[in-house]
Amino acid sequence: MKYIFISTLCLFFGACQQNKPHSSNEGSADPHSYSNPQQAVVKHLDLDLKVDFESHILSGRAEWTIENGTNSDTIIFDTRGLKIEKVVLGEDVKETSFTLGKEDKFLGQPLKVHIKPSSTKVTIWYKTSEEAAALQWLTPAQTAGKKHPFLFTQSQAILARTWIPCQDSPGIRFTYNAVVTVPHELMAVMSAENSQKLRTDGVYHFKQVHAIPSYLMALAVGDLQFQKTDERTGVYAEPVTLPKAAWEFAEMGKMVNAAEKLYGPYRWGRYDVLVLPPSFPFGGMENPMLTFATPTVIAGDRSLVSLIAHELAHSWSGNLVTNATWNDFWLNEGFTTYFERRIVEAVYGREEAEMQEVLGFQALKESIGESGDDTKLKGNFAGRDPDEGMTDIAYEKGYFFLKTIERAAGREAFDKFLKGYFDQDAFKSVTTEEFVKYLESNLLAKNAGLSDKIGVSGWIYQTGLPSNIAPVNSGKFKAIDSLVAQWKATNKTAGLRDRIKTTNELLYFIKALPESLSASQMALIDKELAITKSGNAEIQCAWYTLAVRHQYKPAYARTEEFLVNVGRRKFLLPLYKEMAATPEGKAWAIQIYKKARPNYHSVSYNTIDQILK
């Protein structure tokens, strides 16, 4: 997933959670799943669902093929808010017995199904609830085209259990087939092989032949069309968005080629992107074969497509080799951030990658200041919502750890090592400890002194930033530093337009403006650079945050419009936090939020509710 977060989450969720340990899932290797894979584990799913836009409910059945190697009499699934209607074993006509355990706010309820030693199939008939946290139902007004409703899912981290009864741990993998029935005028797509055309009967068949963990289960239904960008890549989007989206992402094929050149073949077949309506809470979600992406990356100039590099990189780090638990999340995101910047470097050049690295380092420094004990790479989120681990620590501290290894071992040796890691652990889930072991035997043992140079355990098991962190540098940003210094000395803005060329440079410029900035200085800068009118969401977020802080009123209308139309949590949190810092700001925020909240996914509004409560 791309860039969620911001560390207030930890504070806010932390506060509502001084509750008891989850005794009911003790003994499970994954603190966020009730399942019992050591006894009985799922291997394949046949899913049959009907999508009802009237009632906002999915109903149908999940037929699980299981392995019961220990002759267990029970298999345990994770559920949250599901209405379980009946459970049947294999060809049995008779229902088997099941119980739903005590409900936990984050984990939901364990579904314990009575099985026989010989059982190979468990079929669960169920309905989702209207509150299912993974599902976002949009009215036609909330879509780009305004004519048809839309549904999309977001399963990561532990929300798959709100729409499918499953063993909801990233350490458990299964293949799946699905049949999904939708209204005739709408198209359904999943994290699988997809139809490229509307099916007039509204019945869609899907097949995912590679074993994936439950958090990569994904479904979207809406007025969608497909346009290919080359032979193996393409874009799904609402018709009004499709031409812009296909243009913006036209270089996806180049990125897939660059990625393959770095770390071996792309193993999933097609790589397509689905552009969602603006309420999607994340930048992107790496659903296999079909990245879900926010329309906020359609900047009109391809300046934000590194998001696609990120989601594509997950086809190796994350989807192919997966973090075994959410405490190992940095294995997904740190590796992906590293891989993303390597793709960017290959396709757009070293200068671009350097700028992204510096921006990443700035974000990391802020996160380190705010996250306390949660600044260890190896997380400890037992008893908490694993979304709390989705911070810049996993992404950027993870990145700089790998960058530090690259610097110590040399790029060539490190690339060979990484390629070997993706090969050896393909379609497997890996713990931090397993990775460290692999690192020791396949890289460190071959090179005396390397281990001391890197200091692996300091990076992984200690808080803060080790002193051997690889330095960052961008010539382009140094030039912006001088521009800011010049502006501070003279207060002259003329000529800035010619010297700040790219999105990254403008973003860096905005972030480098001093705390003492005044509204009248903002007005002069705005006159020269027209920032308030920008359509680039990264720029808008950074600038509007300053506008709120320094009460630059000419940007207020656009700020409000942005908050009502965009649902991406990364942009919403800093803005609402800034507004909530003063009583007048908070009153304004609450007024906007009343209008905006129905456009947000639960992943976004759950956090903002806490900020504005």
CB 406 within 8 A of CB 414: yes
C-beta separation of 384 from 13 below 8 A: yes
By C-alpha distance, which of 240, 304, 315, 206 is closest to 271? 315
Amino acid, single-letter form, for residue 339: F
Q: Both tokens of residue 543?
A: 């600038």
Nearer to Zn ion, 286 or 526 (CB): 286
Q: How far is the CB of 76 from Zn ion (least distance, A)?
A: 29
Burial of residue 501 (number of CB atoms within 10 Å: 0-12, 13-18, 19+): exposed
User: In angstroms, rounded to a whole number, what is the distance separating the alpha carbons of residues 141 and 585?
Assistant: 28
Q: How far is the CB of 394 from Zn ion (least distance, A)?
A: 9
Hey, which residues between 274 and 313 contact Zn ion (CB under 5 A)? Answer: none
Rg of the chain over CA atoms, in angstroms? 24
Q: Which of 3, 395, 421, 508 is catalytic?
A: 395
Residue with tokens 């993303």: 340
Shortest spacing between CB 323 and Zn ion, in angstroms: 11
> Measured between alpha carbons, how far is 581 from 576 in angstroms, rounded to an integer?
9
Indicate the Cα dihedral angle 76, 82, 84, 90, nearest 10°. Answer: -50
1 binds Zn ion, rule: CB under 5 A: yes
| Closest to Zn ion by CB, 312 or 542 | 312
By the 10 Å C-beta count (0-12 exposed, 13-18 middle, 19+ buried), 130 is classed as exposed
What is the b/e burial string over 71-88, where b = at least 16 CB atoms within 10 angstroms of the residue's CB?
ebeebbbbbbbbebeebb
Active site residue 395: yes
Determine the size of the site formed for Zn ion (CB under 5 A): 3
Q: What angle do CA 441, 447, 451 make, to 5 degrees?
A: 75
For Zn ion, give the closer residue by CB, 1 or 500. 1
Out of 63, 238, 311, 578, pick the active-site residue: 311
592 interacts with Zn ion by CB under 5 A: no
CB 224 within 8 A of CB 197: no
Find the length of the chain.
613
Q: Is 185 a catalytic residue?
A: no
Give the footprint of Zn ion on residues 180-209 (CB under 5 A). Answer: none
Nearer to Zn ion, 58 or 293 (CB): 293
Q: Pick the closer one to Zn ion by CB: 208 or 337.
A: 337
Question: String of b and e for 326-350 (b: at least 16 CB within 10 Å)?
Answer: bbbbbbbbbbbbbbbbbbbbbbbee
Is the Cβ of residue 285 or residue 355 nearer to Zn ion in the bound state? 285
Nearest-angstrom CA–CA distance, 529 and 145? 31
Which x/- pattern over 223-262 shows residues binding Zn ion (rule: CB under 5 A)? Answer: ----------------------------------------
Closest listed residue to residue 18, CA positions, set 553, 384, 320, 289? 384
Q: Distances from the Cα of 407 to the Cαs of 49, 70, 411, in angstroms?
A: 50, 47, 7
Interaction residues for Zn ion, span 343-382 (CB under 5 A) = none
- Nearer CB in complex with Zn ion: 60/360: 360
Residue whose CB is less far from Zn ion, 22 or 341: 341
CB closer to Zn ion out of 149 and 213: 213
Q: 1 or 324, CB closer to Zn ion?
A: 1
Residue 450 in contact with Zn ion, rule: CB under 5 A: no
Residue partners of 134: CB distance under 8 A and separation at least 6: 153, 154, 155, 159, 160, 162, 163
Q: What count of other Cβ atoms lies within 10 Å of the Cβ of residue 281?
A: 24
**8 Å CB contact between 292 and 284:** yes
Q: Segment 319-348, which members bind Zn ion (CB under 5 A)?
A: 333, 336
Residue of minimal CB distance from Zn ion?
A: 1
| Straight-line distance from the first to the last Cα atom of the chain, in angstroms, rounded to the nearest whole number | 27
Q: Find tokens 């999508």 and name the residue.
A: 51
Return the active site residues. Answer: 311, 395
Binding residues vs Zn ion (CB under 5 A): 1, 333, 336
